């Protein structure tokens, strides 16, 4: 008979901590994803918000680049039927195979293995085929994470659709196409800073209750949209239970984001937040 290892509460400075395994809630309702138009298009959580144009006769017009990045570019689209009001969307397009990308995917993709060995080898060796697979895997991972988070009430953009290596998202900004600023660009006063901290903690608690952490959290991956904070750039969301690096990633996320608030004069407790999120995720049981 094997003795059970004693459980202990994880420490904020414990780089070796591995959480006690537990079963995560099953969020799959067993229904196939709803698809629209092309065979490779998957819709976001249904019913869609009222602002989304869903008429099959609508067309998407590319209005230009909103943001460029190492792994993806974000374009501004207008979806409309001629003569009718439309809606603005953000199209996140993961890089083509010939570009360098996904330089950190080894740790983030723990547990996201594909079944076919040929595909596994192609991704590991970064062949053109493997890079294309990686782009699709990251796009699908972000789309799925956003759908789950949106359904759980966490402040993230509504995921409109997935088309191959492109994720269509709710555009956050003004009607003239000006994107909402990143948290890193803002200079809030004391009261506003405190309010934003509370909103951020609420979002991180929502992630932790699903057993997740952002994976690359910083003031550059949070938008300030009409008084609310919205988490963005979530392809690398980390499963705190299934990924052996999960607790380390959570520590890094907490330290980075609390550091931004501390640098602007807010007295925050990074270690206290870490342990709260560990508790919400059930890792201290």
Asked whether 17 and 10 are in contact (CB, 8 A), the reply is yes
Instruction: List where CATH 3.30.200.20 sits in the chain.
Output: 41-170
**Looking at residue 207, what is its pLDDT?**
97
For 236, other C-beta atoms within 10 Å of its C-beta total: 21
Instruction: List where CATH 1.10.510.10 sits in the chain.
Output: 183-281
For 97, other C-beta atoms within 10 Å of its C-beta total: 17
**Looking at residue 242, what is its pLDDT?**
86
Alpha-carbon separation of residue 194 from 56, 204, 219, 234 (angstroms)? 44, 15, 15, 24
Beta bridge partners of 78: 61, 88
- pLDDT tens-digit profile of 69-112? 888 999 999 999 998 999 999 999 998 555 434 444 545 445 44
Question: The domain 183-281: what is its CATH number?
Answer: 1.10.510.10
**Looking at residue 28, what is its pLDDT?**
39
Place of tokens 């402040």: 155
Helix or strand holding residue 212 (H, E): strand 212-213
| CATH topology assigned to domain 41-170 | Phosphorylase Kinase; domain 1 (3.30.200)
**Looking at residue 117, what is its pLDDT?**
55
- Please list, residue by residue across 61-93, b when 16 or more beta carbons sit within 10 angstroms of its beta carbon and e when fewer do: eeeeebeeeebbebbbbbbbeeeeebbbbbbbb
Query: Which parts of the chain sit beneath pLDDT 50?
Result: 1-9, 14-37, 99-104, 106, 108-109, 111-116, 118-133
Structure tokens at 197: 């901290």
Phi/psi-derived region of residue 4, left when phi > 0, alpha when psi is between -120 and 50, beta in every other case:
beta
Asked whether 256 and 218 are in contact (CB, 8 A), the reply is yes
Phi/psi-derived region of residue 102, left when phi > 0, alpha when psi is between -120 and 50, beta in every other case:
left
């Amino acid at each position: 008979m094997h003795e059970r290892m004693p459980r202990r509460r994880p420490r904020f400075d414990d780089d070796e901590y591995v959480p006690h395994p537990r079963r995560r809630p099953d969020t799959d309702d067993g229904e196939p994803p709803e698809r629209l138009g092309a065979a490779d298009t998957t819709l976001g959580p249904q019913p869609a918000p009222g602002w989304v144009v869903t008429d099959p006769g609508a067309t998407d017009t590319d209005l230009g680049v909103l943001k460029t990045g190492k792994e993806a570019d974000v374009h501004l689209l207008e979806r409309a039927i001629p003569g009718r009001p439309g809606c603005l969307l953000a199209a996140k397009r993961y890089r083509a195979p010939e570009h360098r990308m996904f330089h950190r995917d080894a740790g983030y993709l723990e547990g996201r293995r594909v079944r076919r060995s040929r595909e596994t080898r192609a991704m590991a060796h970064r062949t053109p085929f493997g890079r294309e697979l990686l782009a699709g895997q990251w796009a699908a991972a972000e789309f799925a994470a956003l759908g789950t988070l949106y359904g759980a009430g966490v402040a993230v953009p509504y995921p409109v659709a997935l088309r191959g290596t492109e994720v269509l998202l709710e555009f956050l900004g003004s009607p003239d196409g000006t994107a909402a600023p990143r948290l890193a660009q803002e200079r809030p006063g004391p009261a506003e800073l405190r309010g934003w901290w509370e909103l951020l903690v609420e979002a991180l608690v929502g992630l932790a209750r699903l057993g997740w952490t952002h994976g690359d959290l910083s003031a550059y991956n949070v938008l300030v949209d009409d008084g609310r904070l919205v988490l963005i750039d979530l392809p690398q969301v980390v499963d705190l239970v299934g990924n052996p690096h999960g607790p380390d990633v959570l520590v890094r996320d907490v330290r980075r984001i609390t550091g931004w608030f501390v640098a602007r004069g807010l007295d925050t407790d990074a270690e206290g937040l870490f342990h709260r999120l560990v508790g919400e995720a059930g890792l201290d049981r």
